[in-house]
Amino acid sequence: MPVRARAFWLSSPGHGEIRTVTVPPPGEDEVLVRTVHSAVSRGTETLVFRGGVPPGQHQAMRAPFQEGEFPGPVKYGYLNVGVVESGTPELVGRTVFCLYPHQTRYVVPAHAVVPVPDGVPPARAVLAGVVETAVNALWDAAPLVGDRIAVVGGGMVGCAVAAVLARFPGVRVQLVDTDPSRAAVADAFGVGFASPDGAAGGCDLVVHASATSDGLARSLELLVPDGVVVELSWYGNRPVAVPLGDVFHSRRLTVRSSQVGSVSPARRDRRSTRDRLALALELLTDARFETLISGESGFEQLPQLLAELAAGERAALCHRIRYDQTESDPAGE
């Protein structure tokens, strides 16, 4: 029997709404998932909310189960944890992660969900997509034992990169941000913290995730000769000023892009996107990742929440969404 569900849609730039949708029963090799938590990927989702996806990137920016088109109406999101209610027998009853938008129930192919390990609480598992981005970035960056590394930009992705780097042997890792409250996150993972002016130079590698021109400029300043900046920021349709006339050429510096839409070339021939996501979920057995959850709201609050996040009225790393188990019911005839 079909079920009714509730889904968050961006009706037009700056305006979100909750819509009632009908979800069909799962077919062969499909699963029906009841969402227990989702999360807002603040940088990307607020950019989408503002209508800031450039026309030339509409296709590249599509989420795996997106409906509609940019700039709207569009159903967008990709951090979802739920319980399989029916479908593929070996998955029924399992808690799974899926790159699905904010919706109370949904049907997807069974291969689109990844079981959450027993040691990872469902509420923490919403971070899997963020940690997956960090894993891919570090496959691109290829840090070495003993490297001096800065992560410039202490947002959700930057903090996740610093958290994974903290496991590397012999490295000096410093999280750099203008917000002094990010020092608590750095301390939780055992890495250093500094303001942009106070950041330690002499870096072999800088991962930039502040999505600002000033952050990118400071990243270049922190490098040693032949050093590399791995650029993780997504700027959307905003212009970016890059200071290529200062030390860029004399130090033979490199700016390398990284994007989670495809597996890093360093691992593409031997790791799938599913492998990468499974690794991210394994890393989340570390309870310190809880420090990346900065708030929680109910599903029905999403339209107002996204508006506040997009306007900068609410500070957030990863904002978790909770779902009432009675949110949806059989549609009947």
pLDDT tens, residue by residue, 238-280: 889 888 988 899 999 999 999 888 999 999 999 999 999 999 9
DSSP helix/strand/coil, 316? coil
Architecture of domain 3-127+284-322: Alpha-Beta Complex (3.90)
Q: List the CATH code of the domain at 134-257.
A: 3.40.50.720
The two structure tokens encoding residue 194: 């500094």
Per-residue pLDDT of 277-317, as tens digits, reads 999 999 999 999 999 999 999 999 999 999 999 998 887 78
Residue 5's DSSP bridge partners are 21
pLDDT at 332: 44
Residue 35's DSSP bridge partners are 82
Residue among 15, 33, 174 nearest 93 (CA): 33
DSSP helix/strand/coil, 237? coil
pTM score of the predicted model: 0.91
> Taking a C-beta distance cutoff of 8 angstroms, is the pair 9, 75 a contact?
yes
Q: Where are the domains of the chain?
A: 3-127+284-322, 134-257
DSSP helix/strand/coil, 271? coil
DSSP 286-307: SGGGGGGEEEEEEGGGHHHHHH
Per-residue pLDDT of 180-197, as tens digits, reads 999 999 999 999 999 999
Residue 333 has pLDDT above 70, yes or no: no
Per-residue pLDDT of 13-63, as tens digits, reads 999 999 999 999 999 999 999 999 999 988 889 999 999 999 998 998 899
